[in-house]
Amino acid sequence: MTADGKIADYQSSAARFGSHNDKLHLERQVSLVDGVIFGANTLRAYGTTLPVSDPQLLEERKKRSQSPQPVQIVVSKSGNLNPAWRFFQQTVPRWLLTIPDGAKLWRNLPEFERILITSIKENNASIDWIVAFEQLQQLGLNRLAILGGGELIASLMAMNLIDELWLTVCPVIFGGKTAPTPVGGKGFLQSEGKKLKLLEVKQVEAELFLHYQVLRNQ
């Protein structure tokens, strides 16, 4: 994020302001997990996902008996995704997490290896995240990385489904009252704010790498 807490500019352009060190840091975090979850708007902004390409990281995954690449899980309630995006040509396992209506567009098509369908009984337009995470664990995905965007992270944060938070603070300011932040959504009242415990802070050149534990609300 920028020094003023933005993850993109006011046009929600793809965030390319992080350094090479930040990209290496992200790739290492991705290499440690079984699956990566990101929202449809994040995919729309980039058109691709970040695979593990570093030979050492690939070897470490092999030693841990993990698949060469973590599963890339797109969250889209509408299922409105463009099959022409380069993401669909990348050699990574692709899953879709959606609601019943969103699944209709992709049935019997080869773009996704698996489609997970779940919705809240009282509201078929909303994903039941508890059930979704249970399904993912049953399928062998025990450690997940949530790469954004802010709306997705807000939904999971509200349900105490995020354990740790990594933030890279970059030396740039975007401003803008509509520019997205790491946690979007409606927001939390001050009395309901999610408290963090700082586990690690590291400076690499002009960037700060922060690692937090998310404390459960009492």
The answer to whether residues 136 and 156 touch, using CB atoms and an 8 Å cutoff, is no
pLDDT digit string (tens) for 95-117? 999 999 999 999 989 999 999 99
Q: pLDDT at residue 192 above 80?
A: yes
Q: If pLDDT is split at 50, 70 and 90, which confidence band does 6 have?
A: very high
pLDDT of residue 1: 96
pLDDT of residue 216: 84
pLDDT of residue 195: 95
CA 196 vs CA 53, 77, 114, 135: distances in Å: 32, 30, 34, 28
Domain ranges of the chain: 20-162
pLDDT of residue 123: 67
Q: If pLDDT is split at 50, 70 and 90, which confidence band does 25 have?
A: very high
Which DSSP state fits 138? H
pLDDT of residue 119: 87
Q: pLDDT at residue 4 above 70?
A: yes
pLDDT digit string (tens) for 124-146? 688 999 999 999 999 999 999 99
Is the preceding omega at residue 35 within 30 degrees of 0, hence cis?
no
Neighbours of 85 (CB within 10 A): 16
Name the residue among 29, 22, 6 with its Cα closest to residue 145: 29
- The single-letter code of the amino acid at 162 is I
Between strands 94-98 and 114-117, the pairing is parallel
Q: Report residue 46 as tokens.
A: 């980039």
pLDDT of residue 217: 67
pTM (two decimals) = 0.93
User: In the chain, count of helices (H) and strands (E)?
Assistant: 6, 8
pLDDT of residue 81: 97
Q: Report residue 189 as tokens.
A: 């009242």
pLDDT of residue 218: 54
pLDDT of residue 105: 92
In this structure, CATH architecture of domain 20-162 = 3-Layer(aba) Sandwich (3.40)
Q: Report residue 206 as tokens.
A: 């002009």
The answer to whether residues 182 and 150 touch, using CB atoms and an 8 Å cutoff, is yes
- The single-letter code of the amino acid at 56 is Q
Average of per-residue pLDDT across 173-201: 95
- Average pLDDT of every residue of the chain: 94
pLDDT of residue 125: 80
- The single-letter code of the amino acid at 205 is E
